[in-house]
Amino acid sequence: MPTRKTTILIVDDTRLNVQIIKSDLEDEGYNILSSENGTDALRIAETENPDLILLDIMMPGMDGFEVCKILKEKDNTKDIPIIFLTARSEPKDVIKGFQLGAVDYLRKPFEVSELLVRVKTHVRLKHLQHNLEDMVEERARELVAAHEELNNMHDELTFVHTKLQEAYLEIIRRLARAADYRDNETGMHIIRMSNYSAILGKAAGMEHDEYRSLMHAATMHDVGKIGIPDSVLLKPGKLTSEEFDTMKAHSSLGSKLLSGIQSKLLRMAAKIAITHHEKWDGTGYPNGLAGEDIPLEGRIAGIVDVFDALVSSRPYKKPWSVDEAIELIKNEKGKHFDPRLVDLFIENLSEILEIKEKFADSQEGKAGITGE
């Protein structure tokens, strides 16, 4: 017996056939509707939406094939399974019935038991299809809800990540400025240098994310000065040989301070700290690296650090003019500095001078790191 009341529409112009089939199906617990012509059958199918239609072919006016065709063209009836019950047994009729969308084709006369088995089979398939569609819709709703929840979580995580990144960069800037303040330099030095580094990194072919990272990492170039004694770091006169050796240790100290942290940015900063005093000809410190053995980030930081130191005023020296500083950089091309970077520095000098003007020492406290 069916687990729920199932409605079946019988369409046959022979009233006796309808009565016999109706009686047998009602005994099986089905709810039965009936019609003796195609036009009435279409009306009942649209209004009652039966679970199954048993359809005769040879009827006056509109035959069963036409009824089936119309039912399959309408959105609200196209999914109703149709079984043809007919005396027409030619193969071409059977083929046409299936081509029009019927699920089965039963030739008259037929055994009632065979009809009942086929009805039960197609009713069960219809219910399974309906259940499957419900499950698909439910899963689709769940997926939509899950997608919306993930989007909300993504937005929240993006917000948190942004805030953490801002805090992270602020800590880096404060640590960098702490080193500069110990050296009687202004905080504007690291801002200028970081922006100079980004300009030169971009000109050297770095990708956007790379030169943005360089801009932040370059601020840490002298962080190792935190570990240099004041008697050496703040000495107004010329350093002795021993004192200079102590001063040079700030490169290694900075690298050690920044190493061992799982951060791409700080790994770059550590690389800059230990290589920005290396020279193209191998006469720099602490490791005497030469040429392209010096990482590009270190070579870039080296040239912009020297430029900014030359053109800036310090308690122990007056600022050089830009022309004087450029002349020295040109003279050190291939010796202190990477020849290609010297050319790129000069090519981008107008942009560098804009940064110099924008972040002059007199502007301290009014601006911060920019970059594209």
pLDDT attached to residue 1: 42
Q: Residue 176, Cα to own-chain centre: how many angstroms?
A: 33
DSSP E strands in 98-167: the ranges are 104-107
Average of pLDDT values for 279-290?
Answer: 96
Q: What is the distance between the alpha carbons of residues 332 and 338, in angstroms, rounded to a whole number?
A: 9
Which residues, other chains included, contact 20 with Cβ-Cβ below 8 Å and sequence gap of 6+? 112
Q: What is the distance between the alpha carbons of residues 198 and 211, in angstroms, rounded to a whole number?
A: 5
| 101 vs 189, residue with greater confidence | 101
Domains in the chain, start-ordered, CATH in brackets? 7-134 (3.40.50.2300), 183-363 (1.10.3210.10)
pLDDT at 316 over 70: no
DSSP E strands in the chain: the ranges are 7-11, 31-35, 52-55, 82-86, 104-107
Q: What is the distance between the alpha carbons of residues 104 and 78, in angstroms, rounded to a whole number?
A: 15
Q: Please tell me whether residue 35 adopts helix, strand or coil conformation.
A: strand
Q: What is the distance between the alpha carbons of residues 31 and 27, in angstroms, rounded to a whole number?
A: 10
Q: Please tell me whether residue 276 adopts helix, strand or coil conformation.
A: coil
pLDDT range class, residue 167, cuts 50, 70, 90: low
pLDDT in tens, 336-354: 999 999 999 999 999 999 9
Pairing of strands 82-86, 31-35: unpaired
Residue whose token pair is 């019927």? 102
Q: What is the distance between the alpha carbons of residues 164 and 261, in angstroms, rounded to a whole number?
A: 16
pLDDT range class, residue 371, cuts 50, 70, 90: very low
pLDDT range class, residue 144, cuts 50, 70, 90: confident
pLDDT at 109 over 80: yes
Which residues, other chains included, contact 282 with Cβ-Cβ below 8 Å and sequence gap of 6+? 288, 289, 290, 291
pLDDT attached to residue 364: 47
pLDDT at 129 over 60: yes
pLDDT attached to residue 178: 56
Q: What is the distance between the alpha carbons of residues 366 and 216, in angstroms, rounded to a whole number?
A: 18
Specify the length of the chain in residues.
372
pLDDT attached to residue 257: 78
In the chain, % of residues over pLDDT 70: 87
pLDDT at 306 over 60: yes
Q: What is the distance between the alpha carbons of residues 242 and 323, in angstroms, rounded to a whole number?
A: 33
Q: Residue 345, Cα to own-chain centre: how many angstroms?
A: 36
Asked if 259 and 273 touch (Cβ cutoff 8 Å), the reply is no
Q: What is the distance between the alpha carbons of residues 72 and 210, in angstroms, rounded to a whole number?
A: 62
pLDDT in tens, 75-105: 999 989 999 988 887 889 899 999 999 988 9
For residue 103 the two structure tokens come to: 């699920």
pLDDT at 162 over 90: no
Mean pLDDT, the chain, rounded, equals 85
pLDDT range class, residue 267, cuts 50, 70, 90: confident
Q: What is the distance between the alpha carbons of residues 331 and 323, in angstroms, rounded to a whole number?
A: 12
Asked if 198 and 372 touch (Cβ cutoff 8 Å), the reply is yes
Average of pLDDT values for 368-372?
Answer: 47
Asked if 293 and 313 touch (Cβ cutoff 8 Å), the reply is no
Task: Read off the pTM.
Answer: 0.55
Average of pLDDT values for 315-321?
Answer: 82
- Compute CA distances 46 → 43, 123, 126, 317, whole Å: 5, 18, 17, 97
Average of pLDDT values for 2-13?
Answer: 82
| 332 vs 141, residue with greater confidence | 332
pLDDT range class, residue 369, cuts 50, 70, 90: very low
Q: What is the distance between the alpha carbons of residues 226 and 123, in angstroms, rounded to a whole number?
A: 84
pLDDT attached to residue 184: 47
pLDDT attached to residue 368: 47
Asked if 262 and 285 touch (Cβ cutoff 8 Å), the reply is no
